[in-house]
């Protein structure tokens, strides 16, 4: 077991572990730590606790110290300078005619480097752009190409559900999401219904997929024939949360009745299989979500 303090950095939901040392830290405290990127400002999200050695990567780097008012002032100053850096960089990009979209700029805590985040349809030769920027800022310049999902994580926004985007608020890492997850959960495969702000499949499709995957195997196929307490019928829809199945039953007089039954009330069920292939239309929808 090892004692750790959980630290979160700007624009990330991921928590990193650091060695606490002898000083006591409370949740919400600002701290100065050394990372692979250099000295950075972070916020305590997990107070001192013990975790299993398998959960950490040794050796743990120590927290340098608690943040002072001077550190907070420096952090604020760096944030205030970022918009001007974005403006200058955009001007240089236009002057060079580069096919890239600048997303944001960020100064490192000590002010020794400015990082520019951008998206582009392919690889960009930005060596001359770096020289232009270095001549203006007189500090180290780093240009970092990111994907469209990373762009949404960096900028944030309100998702279709009305809450902040998961990637910018609570997700530590991107999870693999597929069109099959949406199909398994019985969602409409209309791209506008299952897309996030980034235009890719919503990350939340992966949250409860394990549950839906198991229930999907038990539920009857839409359009299959079943035997209900009221006679033979055809499955119209299913509710995988309540195990409820809506069945269309045709009476002898030609009338049609739609009735709900619990799964255990039905017989001769042709259940779904986990290895079912996507239809041609579903494959086309899946292709539209692939990264460029």
Summarised one tens digit per residue, pLDDT across range 184-235 is 998 888 888 899 998 899 999 999 899 999 999 999 988 899 999 988 999 9
Q: Where are the alpha helices (DSSP H) in 63-126?
A: 69-96
Two structure tokens written together for 75: 């952090």
**pTM, entire model:** 0.78
pLDDT(66) > 60: yes
pLDDT digits (tens, 9 = 90+) for 129-167: 999 999 999 999 999 999 988 999 888 899 988 999 988
Q: What is the pLDDT, as a whole number, of residue 11?
A: 67
With 90 as the cut, is the pLDDT of residue 252 above it? no
Of 207, 274, 260, 186, residue with least CA distance to 230:
260
Residue 106 has pLDDT above 70, yes or no: yes
| Tens-place pLDDT, residues 22-42 | 888 899 999 999 888 788 999
Which 8-state DSSP code applies to residue 220?
B
Token pair for residue 99? Answer: 């096919």
38-51 and 63-66: which strand pairing? unpaired
Interior/surface letters 248-264, b for 16+ CB within 10 angstroms, e for the rest: ebeeeeeeeeeeebebe
- Cα–Cα dist 61/282, whole Å: 48
Q: What confidence score (pLDDT) does residue 292 get?
A: 37
Task: Specify the residue for token string 């520019």.
Answer: 116
- Per-residue pLDDT for 253 more than 70? yes
Query: What is the C-alpha to C-alpha distance for residues 285 and 190, in angstroms, rounded to an integer?
Result: 8
Percent with pLDDT over 70 in the chain: 99
- Which pLDDT score is estimated for 269? 77
Query: Is-contact 31 65, C-beta < 8 A?
Result: yes
- pLDDT bin (cut points 50, 70, 90) of residue 10 is confident
- Interval 45-71 mean pLDDT: 88
- Comparison of pLDDT for 265 and 288, the residue scoring more: 265
Q: What is the percent of the chain where pLDDT is above 90?
A: 53
Tokens of residue 1, six digits: 């077991």
* Mean pLDDT for the stretch of residues 17-22: 86
For the ranges 22-31, 90-99, 112-121, 238-247, which has the lowest average pLDDT? 22-31
Q: What are φ and ψ of residue 57, in 5° steps?
A: -110, 115
CA 77 – CA 79 distance, rounded (Å): 5
CA 72/CA 43 separation, integer angstroms? 12
Looking at residue 37, its pLDDT comes to: 78
CA dist., res. 226 & res. 270, Å (int): 8
Output the CA torsion sign for 127, 129, 130, 131. positive
Could you tell me which residues come within 8 angstroms of residue 123 by beta carbon, excluding any fewer than 6 positions away? none
Using one digit for the tens of pLDDT, what is the confidence trace for 258-285? 999 999 999 877 878 877 778 887 788 8
Take residue 19 and report the two structure tokens written for it: 């060695």
Q: Flag whether pLDDT at 12 surpasses 80.
A: no
DSSP string, 4-69: EEEEE-TT---EEEEB-TTS---TT-EEEEEETTEEEEEEEEEEEEEE-GGGS-SSPPBEEEE--H
Long-range contacts: 161-165, Cβ < 8 Å, 24+?
161/204, 165/196, 165/197
pLDDT for position 291:
46
pLDDT attached to residue 71: 94
pLDDT of residue 242: 94
Max CA distance (Å), the chain: 87
Instruction: Say what the pLDDT of residue 233 is.
Output: 92
Q: Rounded to an integer, what distance in angstroms lies between the CA atom of residue 192 and that of residue 82?
A: 34
Residue with tokens 């579903």: 282
Average pLDDT rounded to a whole number, residues 59-77: 92
């Amino acid at each position: 077991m090892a004692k750790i303090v959980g630290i979160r950095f700007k624009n990330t939901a991921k928590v990193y572990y650091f060695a606490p040392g002898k000083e006591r830290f409370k949740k919400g405290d600002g701290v100065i730590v050394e990372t692979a990127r250099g000295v950075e400002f972070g916020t305590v999200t997990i107070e001192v606790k013990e975790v299993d050695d398998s959960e950490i990567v040794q050796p743990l780097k120590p927290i340098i110290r608690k943040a002072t008012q001077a550190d907070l002032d420096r952090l604020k100053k760096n944030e205030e300078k970022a918009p001007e850096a974005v403006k200058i960089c955009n001007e240089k990009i236009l002057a060079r005619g580069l096919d890239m979209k600048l997303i944001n700029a960020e100064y490192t805590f000590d002010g020794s480097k400015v990082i520019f985040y951008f998206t582009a349809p392919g690889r960009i030769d930005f060596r001359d752009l770096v020289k232009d920027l270095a001549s203006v800022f007189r500090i180290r310049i780093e240009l970092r190409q990111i994907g469209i999902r990373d762009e949404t994580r960096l900028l944030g926004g309100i998702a279709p559900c009305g809450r902040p985007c998961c990637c910018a608020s609570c997700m530590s890492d991107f999870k693999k999401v597929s069109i099959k997850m949406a199909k398994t959960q019985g969602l409409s495969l209309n791209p506008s219904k299952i897309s996030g702000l980034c235009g890719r499949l919503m990350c939340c499709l992966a949250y409860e997929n394990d549950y839906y995957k198991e229930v999907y195997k038990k539920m009857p196929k839409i359009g299959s024939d079943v035997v209900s307490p009221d006679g033979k019928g055809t499955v119209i829809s299913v509710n995988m949360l309540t195990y409820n199945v809506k069945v269309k039953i045709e009476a002898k007089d030609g009338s049609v009745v739609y009735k709900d039954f619990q799964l255990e009330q039905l017989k001769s069920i042709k259940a779904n299989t986990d290895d079912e292939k996507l239809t041609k239309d579903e494959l086309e929808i899946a292709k539209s979500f692939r990264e460029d």
